[in-house]
Amino acid sequence: MTGMIEAAQAVLRANDKGGYTVPTARLYPFQWNWDSALVALGWVTFDPERAWRELERLLEGQWDDGMVPHIVFHVRSDDYFPGPDVWGTRHQPATSGISQPPVLATVLRQLWEETGDDNRAATLFPRVLAWHRWWAAARDPEGGGLVAILHPWESGMDNSPAWDAPLARVPATPTTPIRRRDTGHVDAAMRPHDEEYRRYIHLVDLFRGVGWQASAMWRCAPLKVADVAVNAILYRAEQDLLVLAQRFGEAAERAEIAERLERQRNALDRLWNGEAGLYQSLDLLGGERIPVCTSGGLLPLFARHPGPTRAARMAREIERWGQHVRYLVPSLCPSDPRFDPKRYWRGPVWAIINRMIAQGLEHYGEAALAARIREQTAELMWQSGFSEYYDPTDGGACGGSNFSWTAAMALCWAAR
Ligand code: GLC
């Protein structure tokens, strides 16, 4: 175990660019939103000061309207496309124009509880509250209780098969020429297809055209999905924000958060699919639930949304997936014909998702299954290093290597 901890710490140190951690060298040379938040959970196990810096540097990218962007471009680099010129946002430091799964409040609470640093938590609390307000105002303007992603990258699960149908409505005709850099760094068979890339960049062109203004984006967006993972993570984050608000907030803020929680709890219910035994995203433009079973649909366990019967049903579903693959938890149900064990979010296993699911299972008393997921994740790391993700059939390394959030999960799992 000591060898693993030292190796994981070395990955974070090597990817440290001065207060922020890049996900991995070359492939992702900037600061990513949910990567950084989760990586802070690794830093806090051996360098609490550095963990706080990670969050502070991420929030240097926060917009006036509260949005915390999915990438902060602290430096220039030609290794990544689309870079700051393509996004064309006005913020300094340069950022992308979309967001990512809001794990930040949950991480902030954990850092505060572990370090007892009231000053820092008090400073960051209003910033995170502003971000949650942005989700509600910009991405749920009608107040139904589910927030929408307007770009697949906002889900953090970029090319999940759940986005295939909604993305097919997005024209594959960007004005910006595509200059993919990712396939120069890793095998193209592990990355999204060119066609998907054209649609991703079309969306960026479209939103840049309306100046990244939230209400204009909402009006023109050809893709609007209530992603189950983002909504579950947000629901969990609001619970953690409420705990922080009890210490650092005002009564009105607590009431506001509690009200959002109530709305979200009811709305998340609409995403439950009893037959499938998990939750699914909702296509807000098509008006239907997206009938794809992804690991994102298990994150309501982490959010503590399901009642005990539902949670048990979800646990049995995970076990059923486990009969088809050697390593849990694949990002897509392995009996789905689209299951592709090596391609980005269409089958592989991610350590960060495993940790959230395992935490959720523990909460519901599914200790044996949680332990199995945890042990299998450790085995993947021993066998294939701190890879970006892993093939669930043979445990092979996929994507980038020496990956920060994978190393961070090794550290926080070892620390408990
Ligand atoms: C990919 C992932 C996303 C992650 C980023 C950096 O785009 O899909 O979730 O944040 O890489 O690791």
Rounded distance from Cα 366 to ligand 1 centre (Å)? 29
Of the candidates 188, 119, 166, which has an alpha carbon nearest to the alpha carbon of residue 286?
Answer: 166
Predicted pLDDT of residue 355: 98
Rounded distance from Cα 263 to ligand 1 centre (Å)? 29
Tokens standing for 80? Answer: 């990544």
Mapped onto helix, strand or coil, the DSSP state of residue 294 is strand
Predicted confidence band of residue 353 (pLDDT cuts 50, 70, 90): very high
State the alpha helices, DSSP H only, in 140-227: 164-168, 182-185, 194-209, 214-220
Tokens standing for 126? Answer: 């209003």
Predicted confidence band of residue 78 (pLDDT cuts 50, 70, 90): confident
For 390-402, write each residue's pLDDT tens digit. Answer: 999 999 999 999 9
For 31-40, write each residue's pLDDT tens digit. Answer: 999 999 999 9
- % pLDDT > 70, the chain: 100
For 51-74, write each residue's pLDDT tens digit. Answer: 999 999 999 999 999 999 999 999
Mean pLDDT of the chain: 97
Q: What is the mean pLDDT of residues 98-113?
A: 99
For 202-231, write each residue's pLDDT tens digit. Answer: 999 999 999 999 999 999 999 999 999 999
Q: What would you report as the CA-atom Rg of the chain, rounded to the nearest whole angstrom? A: 20
Q: What is the pTM of this model?
A: 0.98
For 244-270, write each residue's pLDDT tens digit. Answer: 999 999 999 999 999 999 999 999 999
403 ligand 1 Cβ < 6 A: no
- Please determine, for residue 1, whether its predicted confidence score (pLDDT) is greater than 70: no
Tell me how far apart the alpha carbons of residues 295 and 350 are, in angstroms, rounded to a whole number.
10
Using most ligand atoms within 8 A of CB, pick from 34, 98, 158 the residue to mutate for ligand 1. 158
Exposure of 274 by Cβ count < 10 A (0-12 exposed, 13-18 middle, 19+ buried)?
A: exposed
28 ligand 1 Cβ < 6 A: yes
Enumerate long-range contacts of 194-202, CB under 8 Å, 24 or more apart: 196/152, 196/159, 196/167, 198/172, 198/173, 198/174, 199/167, 199/170, 199/171, 199/172, 200/151, 200/152, 200/153, 200/158, 201/82, 201/86, 201/174, 201/176, 202/170, 202/171, 202/172, 202/173, 202/174
For 317-339, write each residue's pLDDT tens digit. Answer: 999 999 999 999 999 999 999 99
317 ligand 1 Cβ < 6 A: no
Tell me how far apart the alpha carbons of residues 182 and 81 are, in angstroms, rounded to a whole number.
8
Mapped onto helix, strand or coil, the DSSP state of residue 390 is strand
CATH, domain range 2-67+101-145+226-414: 1.50.10.10
Predicted confidence band of residue 138 (pLDDT cuts 50, 70, 90): very high
| Alpha carbon of residue 223 to chain centroid | 18
Domain ranges of the chain: 2-67+101-145+226-414
Quote the crossing angle between the two packed helices 48-59 and 33-43, to the nearest 10°: 170
Check if the beta carbon of residue 155 is closer than 8 Å to that of residue 163: yes
Sign of CA dihedral 412, 356, 162, 323: positive
Predicted pLDDT of residue 164: 97
Tokens standing for 35? Answer: 């990567």
Rounded distance from Cα 25 to ligand 1 centre (Å)? 13
